[in-house]
Amino acid sequence: MDIIIILLALFFLMFVAYRGFSVILFAPIAALFAVLLTEPGHVLPFFSGVFMEKMVGFIKLYFPVFLLGAIFGKVIEMSGFAKSITQFVIKLIGPARAMLAIVLVGAILTYGGVSLFVVAFALYPFASELFKLADIPKRLIPGTIALGAFTFTMDAFPGSPQIQNIIPTSFFGTTTWAAPWLGFIGGMFVFITGMIYLEWRRRQAAAKGEGYGTGHSNEPEKMDSENLPNAFIAILPLILVGVFNKWFTVLIPKYYGKTFDFSAIGMKNVPEIQIPSLAAVWAVEGALIIGIVTVLLFSFKRIKNNFNKGINLSIGGALLATLNTASEYGFGGVIAALPGFTAVNSAMSNTIKDPLINEAVTTTTLAGITGSASGGMSIALATMSETYIAQADKLGIDPEVLHRVASMASGGMDTLPHNGAVITLLAVTGLTHKQAYIDIFAMTIIKTIAVFVIIGLYYGLGIV
């Protein structure tokens, strides 16, 4: 019965998310409903002592990353840098390779620190125009954007400043550059396999005589490609984010050491800070600030008229994204404290002895159920990271491998139909799940397989 209760709570949250209701409201309702069915007298203590504590802890640690990422993405968009990069890539590889062009631009933007939600909005007008020129069915646009923005540069490639690659750092004491070769190989597996799939789908459509189609909704206006910034200046902020992220990752631990003791500067009531668990987060924040300042230096004239409006919109988006994920994190904290979850964890631990496979299955399952890569991974690591670390230590497994497996697994089954990014992408492109979701789901399968590919490479060849 305890297991049925947590399953009811999980599927209820999945259902309301799929129906478009806010998880900010329904995550605590679902969590406390499970507590009510387990022990009615514990509802209020669980709300204040578990749900809110977990939620606030997540916000304290990650809100600056969400905020700076949203602002960076917005100024990149407002400055015309995103358009300039897209035009450059199209000219470089040719409009005939429309799918590859969109995937590469999506990868450049997300790896450069732009939020994947922003990328979806920025890429759609270009994808639509290119697909029309090449006469590729519009229904293939979401899968193409998903491959470029939601996959290998989100959670696989080392150094990615996306939140899915940052969260494991605070659990395993790693950096965003953890397991670089495994991440690179896993990312290339997703990229190559995804492109093979998309090209197969394009050829299928061409053989049937299916083109872009007519009568579509939400068709973008024709792009204005004049007076765009120089492409090399446009890509500079993205390069600087990557370079400074790496530099700060090395510099911060050297400067502060392992701990910062506030009592040494006369603040005796403030607990000391463990630097390794924060260094990667600080590194990304510092790098994003450098990126934002660089955009403003080169294009303030272009964005100054709408600067206040754009920044306010990005702040609102950052608040919404943070609270969504934090609510799911609080939900996970409550569920993890219930007897049913303990029973499920025990059963999984007894069934799946290997810590890497257990971590991959647990993380991608929770990401799928919650419809959130960051939310599902946060739940999994909050409850199981200490167990994984202990098991890995016994087996001599590098914590960096735990980091990369968790990060990539979170981006596996997260893109089920109720995922917020999927719903947003389909809404932006004016398509329905029935028309276009099958190709997004194909990316989901490819991403999930990639996690087990890197686990096999680690055990077989010792690659880290």
**pLDDT in 10s for each residue of the chain, 464 residues:** 788 888 888 788 777 766 767 778 888 999 999 999 988 999 999 999 999 998 898 888 888 888 888 888 788 878 888 788 878 887 888 777 889 999 998 898 888 887 776 788 778 877 887 888 889 999 999 999 999 999 999 999 999 988 899 899 989 989 999 999 999 999 999 999 999 999 999 999 999 999 988 878 777 666 566 678 888 898 898 889 888 888 988 898 888 888 888 888 888 888 888 887 788 788 888 988 999 999 999 988 888 888 888 888 888 878 887 887 788 778 878 887 888 877 776 777 677 889 999 999 989 988 887 777 887 888 888 888 988 999 999 999 999 999 999 999 998 888 877 676 787 788 788 888 888 999 999 999 999 999 999 999 999 999 99
Tell me what pLDDT residue 18 has: 65
Strand partners, 260: 273
Pick from 416, 309, 406, 407: nearest CA to 370: 416
Helical H runs in 150-278?
163-172, 180-207, 231-256
399: CB partners within 8 A, 6+ apart: 172, 173, 174, 178, 389, 392
Q: Is residue 430 part of a domain?
A: yes
Q: Is residue 217 part of a domain?
A: no
Tell me what pLDDT residue 250 has: 85
Q: Please state the domain count of the chain.
A: 1
Tell me what pLDDT residue 62 has: 81
88: CB partners within 8 A, 6+ apart: 231, 234, 235
Q: Is residue 93 part of a domain?
A: yes
Q: Is residue 70 part of a domain?
A: yes
CA 347 to chain centre: 29
> Domain of 259?
1-212+226-461
Q: What SS3 class is residue 273?
A: strand
Pick from 191, 293, 278, 276: nearest CA to 241: 293
Q: Is residue 365 part of a domain?
A: yes
Q: Is the pTM of this model over 0.85?
A: no
- Read off the amino acid at residue 38: T
Helical H runs in 79-179?
81-93, 98-111, 116-134, 141-149, 163-172
Q: How far apart are CA 381 and CA 336, in angstroms?
A: 11
Q: Is residue 409 part of a domain?
A: yes
402: CB partners within 8 A, 6+ apart: 168, 172, 174, 355, 356, 359, 385, 388, 389, 392
Q: Where do the DSSP E strands lie in 225-339?
A: 259-260, 273-274
Q: Is residue 218 part of a domain?
A: no
Tell me what pLDDT residue 70 has: 81
φ, ψ for residue 270 (rounded to 5)? Answer: -105, 125
